[in-house]
Structures are given as structure tokens and as C-alpha cells.
């Protein structure tokens, strides 16, 4: 049975044409880009061409892009690297309570180093409140880190305004754009972004490669010690096949952004409207308008998301009960609790993330399956009988 994959926020399939571009750099063109013979200089050029592809997509300069091992490392570098390099200016950082664990846990680590962190709350749709952000700013504030779009509920934050507020106060602004790249247009100049994290495998590129944009003039300490690669910001021999892959993947994602987003958001809207039409007592989580094209996160009252997911799995459908990281724990998602869902409702949530390979037929199969599975589980649920 061909799997129907609706978990594109967890990872995406590497495109075959991108894989073809990467292949020569595993074995034939294996040279270390730091060496100085002709073969290595050629590989070095290929690495810089990839940098340029990334820079062009987000309106940055080539020398403002640094390669990392993924979104997690980019977030760590932005938070810890910036905090440690700018400690003399202040020890206060502002973030939100719905950030990815890569940001939240970097902040927790910085708290142990003597930094003070403000975790902004969000409203019922997952937006941070700009007046609360303004109020949280102090003389000691050196950095604001707010994600471009949330991985669980798809809410797109007012990034341009957040960046403007940061800059009015002379504070640097980092955004985790791992979910946003390839889904919505990103322009670091227009959106007042100083640092931005991305990850190859979230836009049909390879896993284990990411990048960070660091605006010229922004000081960041490296967080792993070693050689002088990546202009001293990230030690370690470059992952050349991955770098080639992420470069072509972002080029493709940017070139096809409007077309893909339009088609994907139409499928998402179709899924949302059918679920709301055919299943009573459901709640769409996240904002209806400012949300990622592929994201539809629903809470289904009276039943467990875990059970829905498992029954869908037996029908060959892959969905998520929250973020992949929290799916293995019994605690409900902290993002869903942060938007005010009670524990029992948060527990009954399913995240569908539609990608560029999903078809209308697959979405129809998904809808029919969700309707059937929810109905079956509710019939077995004593809570549902009481609630009626």
C-alpha cells in the first residue's frame, strides 16, 4: 500500500533531481573545500554557489549565510552564539512560549549561564502580543527570538513588526524560519531580520544540513570549537553533498513558491471545510488566515489524538499528534496548552501538514478516513456518551 504522507512539517521527501545534483559530491568530487589544490578550490566554489542560492532566496548577501547541521544547530548558534558574544551589552533575551524546543531549550541553557529570559505568552490563535513585547523590553535586552511560523498550529507571526520594534530599541532580532522557508515569502531586509534559521529537510532537501543567515555586523561566537570553517562561525569539515542539496532545494522552493503554496492551501482549505462540515465538536487550532499553507491542526472532542493517529496509520495515513518531538510523551503539546486549550481537548488533536506531492484524491481519502475513525472512537468513548 502506498503511504499517504500528511506529515510534511516533520520532514519532507528529498526530491530526486536534488539527489542527482548531490551524488557527485559523495564520491567523485570528495575533496575537502578547505584544501588549496585545484580540485578543492572547485569544491569550495560549489559551496559558495550554494550560499548564493540561499542568499538570493531571502534577499541577503552570500557572505551572510553559514552552513550548519540543521535547524536545531542554527537555533543554538543564534541564541547561544549571540548571547555569549554580546553579554557585555546585557543579559536579557525575549522569546515566546511556543518556540521549537531548539529555541526554548537553548534559552533554558542560557538561564543556567546567568541570562534572564522572558517567554511571551500568545493569544488563542497563537500570536504573540506586540504590546507585551514592547513592555518586556528593558535596558538589558539584547535579543528577541520569535519563530516566523509555528510548526504545530501553523500560525504566522507578525515578523516585520517584531523586527521593527526590536530595531527601534537597538535589539537584534532572530527568527526560526524552518517551517516558513519555501512556504511563504521571506525577505530579511523588508522584514527587519538579523538572524534566521533554516533546515534543508523541511523543503524537500536533505536531512542533516541547515543554514543560518547572520546580518553583517551582528556578532556571534561559535559554539563548537575547532577549525576556522564558515568564517570562524562553525567549525568542522563542510557537508558538501548536503550543502549542494540545500542550495538547489531552496532555489526550487523559491522559484515554485507561489504555485505550490496556492495549490497546497486550496487542499488545506478543502480539508478544513470538509472536517468542519462532517464532524461535530471539532476545533481548528491556529489562525484561519495567517497560517502556513499546508497546516491544519484540529482538536476532536472526547477522544485521544494518539488513537486517531494509530487508526489512520493502519489505513496507510501518516499524521502527527503534535510535534514529532512531543509525540512520544504523554504530556499534551505545550503549544496547544499555550493557546488555552484544556488538557483533555489538547489530547484529542491531530496535525495534518499537506505537501507538494499530495493530491486531491489523497486528501479525499484522508477526509473519509478521519470521519470514519473519529466516529468509531467516539462511539467507544464514555465521555462522548456523557457529553451528548
- The neighbour count for residue 164, using CB atoms within 10 Å, is 15
CA distances from 251 to 57, 76, 254, 321, 331 (A): 7, 25, 5, 31, 38
Comparison of 137 and 181: residue with beta carbon closer to ligand PLP: 181
Contact 206, 18 (CB under 8 A): yes
- Residue 318 is among the residues annotated as catalytic for this protein: no
Q: Least distance in Å: CB of 176 to ligand PLP?
A: 5
Identify the three-state secondary structure at position 28: coil
With b for 16 or more beta-carbon neighbours within 10 A and e for fewer, the 280-289 pattern comes to eebebbbbee
| Order of all β-strands in the sheet with 349-353 | 282-285, 295-300, 349-353
The x, y and z cell numbers of residue 88, run together, are: 557585555
Sites of contact with ligand PLP (CB under 6 A)? 70-72, 75, 100, 102, 147, 151, 176, 178-179, 199, 202, 210
Q: Least distance in Å: CB of 209 to ligand PLP?
A: 8
Q: Least distance in Å: CB of 200 to ligand PLP?
A: 7
Q: Find how far residue 151's CA is from the centre of its chain.
A: 5
C-alpha–C-alpha distance, residues 78 and 66, integer Å? 11
- The neighbour count for residue 253, using CB atoms within 10 Å, is 21
Identify the sign of the CA torsion 361, 363, 364, 365: positive
Residue nearest to ligand PLP (CB): 71
299 has which bridge partners?
283, 349
Query: For 262, what's the count of Cα atoms within 13 Å in the CB-facing half-sphere?
Result: 4
C-alpha–C-alpha distance, residues 6 and 17, integer Å? 22
Comparison of 86 and 320: residue with beta carbon closer to ligand PLP: 320
How, if at all, do strands 92-96 and 282-285 pair? unpaired
Task: Classify the phi-psi angles of 204: left when phi > 0, otherwise alpha if psi is within -120 to 50, otherwise beta.
Answer: left
Comparison of 10 and 272: residue with beta carbon closer to ligand PLP: 10
Catalytic residues: 325
Amino acid at each position: 500500500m502506498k503511504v499517504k504522507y500528511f506529515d510534511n512539517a516533520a520532514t519532507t521527501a528529498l526530491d530526486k533531481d536534488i539527489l542527482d545534483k548531490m551524488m557527485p559530491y559523495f564520491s567523485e568530487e570528495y575533496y575537502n573545500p578547505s584544501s588549496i589544490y585545484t580540485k578543492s578550490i572547485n569544491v569550495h566554489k560549489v559551496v559558495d554557489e550554494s550560499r548564493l542560492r540561499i542568499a538570493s532566496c531571502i534577499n541577503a548577501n552570500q557572505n551572510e549565510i553559514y552552513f550548519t547541521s540543521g535547524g536545531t544547530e542554527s537555533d543554538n548558534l543564534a541564541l547561544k552564539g549571540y548571547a555569549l558574544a554580546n553579554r557585555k551589552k546585557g543579559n536579557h533575551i525575549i522569546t515566546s512560549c511556543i518556540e521549537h524546543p531548539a529555541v526554548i531549550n537553548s534559552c533554558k541553557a542560557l538561564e543556567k549561564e546567568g541570562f534572564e529570559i522572558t517567554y511571551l505568552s500568545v493569544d488563542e490563535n497563537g500570536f504573540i502580543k506586540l504590546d507585551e513585547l514592547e513592555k518586556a523590553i528593558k535596558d538589558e535586552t539584547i535579543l528577541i527570538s520569535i519563530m516566523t511560523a509555528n510548526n504545530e498550529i501553523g500560525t504566522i507571526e507578525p515578523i516585520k513588526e517584531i523586527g521593527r520594534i526590536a530595531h527601534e530599541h537597538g535589539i537584534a532580532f532572530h527568527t526560526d524560519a524552518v517551517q516558513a522557508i519555501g512556504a511563504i515569502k521571506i525577505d530579511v531586509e523588508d522584514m527587519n531580520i538579523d538572524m534566521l534559521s533554516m533546515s534543508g529537510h523541511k523543503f524537500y532537501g536533505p536531512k542533516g544540513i541547515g543554514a543560518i543567515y547572520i546580518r553583517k555586523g551582528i556578532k556571534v561566537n561559535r559554539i563548537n570549537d575547532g577549525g576556522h570553517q564558515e568564517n570562524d562561525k562553525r567549525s568542522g569539515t563542510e557537508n558538501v553533498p548536503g550543502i549542494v542539496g540545500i542550495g538547489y532545494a531552496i532555489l526550487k522552493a523559491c522559484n515554485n513558491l507561489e504555485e505550490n503554496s496556492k495549490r497546497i492551501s486550496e487542499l488545506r482549505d478543502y480539508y478544513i471545510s470538509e472536517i468542519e462540515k462532517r464532524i461535530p465538536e471539532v476545533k481548528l487550532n491556529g489562525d484561519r488566515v495567517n497560517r502556513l499553507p499546508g497546516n491544519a491542526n484540529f482538536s476532536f472532542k472526547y477522544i485521544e489524538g494518539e488513537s486517531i493517529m494509530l487508526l489512520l496509520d493502519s489505513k496507510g495515513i501518516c499524521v502527527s499528534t503534535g510535534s514529532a518531538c512531543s509525540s512520544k510523551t504523554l504530556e499534551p503539546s505545550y503549544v496547544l496548552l499555550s493557546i488555552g486549550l484544556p488538557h483533555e481537548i489538547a489530547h484529542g488533536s491531530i496535525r495534518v501538514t499537506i505537501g507538494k506531492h499530495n493530491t486531491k484524491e489523497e486528501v479525499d481519502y484522508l477526509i473519509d478516513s478521519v470521519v470514519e475513525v473519529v466516529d468509531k472512537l467516539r462511539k467507544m468513548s464514555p465521555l462522548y456518551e456523557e457529553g451528548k
